[in-house]
Structure 1
Amino acid sequence: MKKTLMWMMTVVVAIALTACAPDREVPGSNNAGSGENSNGTANNEGQNQGKTETEKPDKLVVWSNDDPNQLAAVEQLAQGYTQATGITVEIVPVSGSEQVQKLALAAPAGNGPDLFYQPQDRLGDIVVQGLADPVALSEQEQAQYSEAALNAVQYEGETYGFPISVETYAVYYNKALVDQLPASLEEVAALSAELTDAANDKYAFLMVPDFYYSIPFITNYGGYIFGEADGKYDPSDLGLNNEGAVQGMTAYAQFVKDTGIPATMTIDVMDTLFLEGKVGIVMNGLWAMKNYADKLGDQLGTASIPTVNGKAAPSFVGVKSWFISSYSEHPTWAKELALYLTNADSSNLYYAKTGEIPASPDAQQAIDNELYSGFVDQIESGMPMPNIPEMSAVWNMDSAIDFIVQGDNPQEVLDETTQQIKDQIAASGQ
């Protein structure tokens, strides 16, 4: 997900349009469709300003991610919405990694959707290209989502998305090999002395040595990606080569050495070794749970990431969301549909079909699978992945991590990489 960011430099001027809300509710949607203030007026300031909707549409078009499980969930939920409203919902499967590019071409020509799907880290690109407008949510509508999820779909102080699910990474462990999980990653080194036998592909702990997973070592020593002020990221303020970041990457290189993690470790190799019972602990995302659980059964456990430098270890948090196309002819009804697709009941069904942690707090509390507890706990310490377009340049840090764990000087590598990031941001014209 993190490496599918596409640098979009063409700015499409958005037509801001406003709609009058339909005077009714969708059964079971917690008044999701009213979209009204107490005086009965439409609460859609900033969204598709200038448009007027006097009648409900015959059809709404939704671009869903083409993952089979997600697609099945969305199609079932769409049928429920149609039964409740009489509005046909056409589901079009489009790969999430391709939607923004295709939307920029199709929407202006009138061939786009009313709702489309994206992870929140693409939000900056979406806004810059004028593909989605801000949405106004009442307090009741905001309460439908966790605070972390709602924060993730805000851009420069305005809300754009309707969160579906939240994902992050945590640690999985094999109970047959690890009796008690270390409290800190630094303590993993001691465990490595007992379990690691690299010659026979046996390890106490494995993770992929790249920027995505190493972020706790940067932040917990005082580094950061972008500076923040008044709820906005400042891309001119990079904290990836400050004193704290250098200390953190120095500690990370030592951690990789002490635990015996191969510098060239990949997800596929790590998964294979863990499934073969050769690894005690791995750091991985929720997406790995099914394969791990199917193979290890009751021996599998999860937990939040052990502390780093004496502090709770943050992880990147991603939020998948629905966005209303700024070219939609039915923005108010699209909002109603988005709220319906993400209410507590719908989120319960979505979780049952996909296994993804819902953005709905009520749906989160209804999860009874103990393997999810480690991830729910980790989300509390998580940090939203920056959603501004300049973030795409930051993934140059992957190469920096490669050099550092292979022994290059952290200060020199981070100085050079930070300059490359600055140059790329400047060249983009952002």
Structure 2
Amino acid sequence: MNKNKTLWGLVLMISFVLLLAACAPEREGAEEAANDDNGSDESQGNEESGQTDKPEELVVWINDEDIAQDVSAQMFDKYTEETGIEVKFERVALPDQVQELSLAGPTGDGPDLFFQPQDSLGNIVAQGLAMPIEYTDEEKAAFTDVAMDAFTYDGEIYGAPVAIETYFAYYNKSLMDSAPETIDDVFTMSQELTDASQDQYGFLVSPEFYYLYSFMNAYGGYVFGETDGVYDPTDIGLDNEGSIEGLKKYKEFIDAGLLPKTLTVDVLDGLFKEGKVGMVISGPWNMPIYKEALGDDLATAPLPMMNGEVAPSFVGVKSWLVSYYSENQEWAADLAKFMTNNENSQLYFDVTGELPPRPEILDAVEDSIYAGYTEQVPNGTLMPNIPEMSPVWDMDVAIELINNGSDVESAVKDTVQSIKDNIATMGTSE
């Protein structure tokens, strides 16, 4: 009888050992990563998700900027060292990635991960190009609510947030002691500093809807009506009285010759770096570039007050997304979480100057050069992430018409009607 008990116990022990072996994670170093003090614990292993066999390679589409390549390459090398998975990256311009994925994905030539701002999310989901990413409550809590909300669509989270960005004021302290507080102060300052014949200006802002939305929103304009976080694409406020009033305020600069009628971002950046402009409106992507050019003369501030309050700005969140066509979706999500853990988010901030939407990092920023950035974010408005946002960028047409002398009200109303027609067409084609 004792012999039978011993034999039965031996069988149970062997079965238990085999069971443990079957459940063991395939990813090498997962246990060490889970205990990493640098935050890489958020890079998920195989044990909880039931991931498929570890791939030899993952393909990632990054933005076609040198600085994006530099910081991404560092992260990819660390991921390869930890997992043994090679990461191949391809530079694809941000505006082109969605269209190219829709073509390359079905043929197997697309990426496992790609990179996008949240205003394109609705279009991405509508085309079936991305897969949701599963997060634990602890993982979600490591990001700001705004970042999670930005990439939430129909209750699913589709992105691993990399950076939260908005635009704000940069100014040259060799030309002014402090940034003008109101838009009327900006106008006065511009009159004093502008000499268009010498390419010298007091104030420059790119004539694009993205930036000029601040003028519109400050006076009561809005993109879509919103209730409890749900956008109503039939309620468009881009041609209301507030939007028109705000763009008339902008046109005052054009009519007075204080802003050039044609201006590109490259020209704006070049003139500011040369010290020929007192103040410009731009975003964190220019922080290291402007700092290199102007050194200690560079300072930042929130947008000037309009209509009695700090002017609002579009707030965007950029994230990594997992391609629907990836054959390694769970490992792609693993890489996305790895690149946005605390350690790598800090690296991204150190290299690019763009703030990751992680409270632990945001609360630790002490450099005064970021004051305008951090003060502007709470005054921002998230760009809508529904598919109907795509036609809204045609507001650039209205701005071009205004710059060329068209009546503000007619230019805005005609353009918004065209946007409404395009949105209606989207609805009938579904």
- Scaled by the length of structure 2, what TM-score is found? 0.83
Q: Is the 8 A contact 2:221 2:240 kept in 1?
A: yes
Q: Does 1:31 align with 2:29?
A: no
Question: Structure 2 residue aligned with 1:229, among 227, 230, 236?
Answer: 227
Question: Structure 2 residue aligned with 1:315, among 297, 313, 316?
Answer: 313
DSSP 3-state at the match of 2:131: coil
Q: Is the 8 A contact 1:157 1:231 kept in 2?
A: no
Q: Is the 8 A contact 1:171 1:305 kept in 2?
A: yes
Q: Does 1:207 align with 2:200?
A: no
Greater radius of gyration (CA): 2
Q: Is the 8 A contact 2:172 2:297 kept in 1?
A: yes
DSSP 3-state at the match of 1:329: coil
**1:194-248: CA deviations, max 9, x gaps?**
3233344333222123322111121121111112234222222111111222222
Q: Is the 8 A contact 1:33 1:333 kept in 2?
A: no
**1:10-37: CA deviations, max 9, x gaps?**
xxxxxxxxxx99595534345324489x
Deviation at 1:417?
A: 1.1
- Give matches, 1:26-425, under 5 Å: 26-27=33-34, 28=36, 29-34=39-44, 42=49, 53=51, 55-257=53-255, 260-425=258-423
**1:298-341: CA deviations, max 9, x gaps?**
11111111111112212122322111122333333322221111
Q: Which amino acid aligns with 1:410?
A: V
Comparing 287-296 with 235-244, greater Cα deviation is found at: 287-296
> 1:74 and 1:197, CA in 2 relative to 1: closer, same or farther beyond 3 A?
closer
CA distance, structure 2, for counterparts of residue 167 and residue 413 of structure 1: 29
> 1:60 and 1:399, CA in 2 relative to 1: closer, same or farther beyond 3 A?
closer
CA distance, structure 1, for counterparts of residue 422 and residue 24 of structure 2: 43
CA distance, structure 2, for counterparts of residue 276 and residue 33 of structure 1: 43
CA distance, structure 1, for counterparts of residue 268 and residue 72 of structure 2: 32
Q: Which amino acid aligns with 2:160?
A: F
Q: Is the 8 A contact 1:65 1:93 kept in 2?
A: yes
Comparing 328-337 with 375-384, greater Cα deviation is found at: 328-337
Deviation at 1:129?
A: 1.2
**1:57-81: CA deviations, max 9, x gaps?**
4443333334232223222212222
Deviation at 1:255?
A: 4.7
DSSP 3-state at the match of 1:31: helix
Q: Which amino acid aligns with 1:32?
A: E
**1:251-271: CA deviations, max 9, x gaps?**
332354457222223333333
Q: Is the 8 A contact 1:253 1:405 kept in 2?
A: yes
Deviation at 1:175?
A: 0.9
What is the percent sequence identity of the aligned residues?
Answer: 47
CA distance, structure 2, for counterparts of residue 115 and residue 22 of structure 1: 23
CA distance, structure 1, for counterparts of residue 417 and residue 93 of structure 2: 33
DSSP 3-state at the match of 2:60: strand
Q: Is the 8 A contact 1:22 1:56 kept in 2?
A: no
Q: Is the 8 A contact 2:44 2:337 kept in 1?
A: no
Q: Is the 8 A contact 2:219 2:246 kept in 1?
A: yes
Q: Which amino acid aligns with 1:341?
A: M
Q: Which ranges in structure 2 are unaligned for 5 or more consecutive residues?
A: 1-22
Q: Which amino acid aligns with 2:401?
A: F
CA distance, structure 2, for counterparts of residue 317 and residue 422 of structure 1: 23
CA distance, structure 1, for counterparts of residue 197 and residue 63 of structure 2: 42
Q: RMSD across aligned C-alpha pairs, in angstroms? A: 2.7
CA distance, structure 1, for counterparts of residue 159 and residue 120 of structure 2: 11
Aligned residue number for residue 48 of structure 1: none
> 1:408 and 1:143, CA in 2 relative to 1: closer, same or farther beyond 3 A?
same
> 1:278 and 1:96, CA in 2 relative to 1: closer, same or farther beyond 3 A?
closer
Q: Is the 8 A contact 2:133 2:159 kept in 1?
A: yes
Q: Which amino acid aligns with 2:140?
A: Q
Q: Which ranges in structure 1 are unaligned for 5 or more consecutive residues?
A: 1-19, 43-51
Deviation at 1:423?
A: 1.6
Q: Which amino acid aligns with 1:425?
A: I
DSSP 3-state at the match of 1:357: coil
**1:340-391: CA deviations, max 9, x gaps?**
1101101122223333322333233444543222112222222222222322
Q: Which amino acid aligns with 1:96?
A: L
Q: Which amino acid aligns with 2:278?
A: G
Aligned residue number for residue 5 of structure 2: none
CA distance, structure 1, for counterparts of residue 24 and residue 149 of structure 2: 25
> 1:179 and 1:53, CA in 2 relative to 1: closer, same or farther beyond 3 A?
closer
- Scaled by the length of structure 1, what TM-score is found? 0.83
The structure that is helix-richer by fraction is 2
Comparing 94-103 with 22-31, greater Cα deviation is found at: 22-31
CA distance, structure 1, for counterparts of residue 284 and residue 264 of structure 2: 17
> 1:83 and 1:41, CA in 2 relative to 1: closer, same or farther beyond 3 A?
closer
DSSP 3-state at the match of 1:141: helix
Q: Is the 8 A contact 2:222 2:243 kept in 1?
A: yes
Q: Is the 8 A contact 1:253 1:407 kept in 2?
A: no
DSSP 3-state at the match of 1:411: helix
Q: Which amino acid aligns with 1:394?
A: V
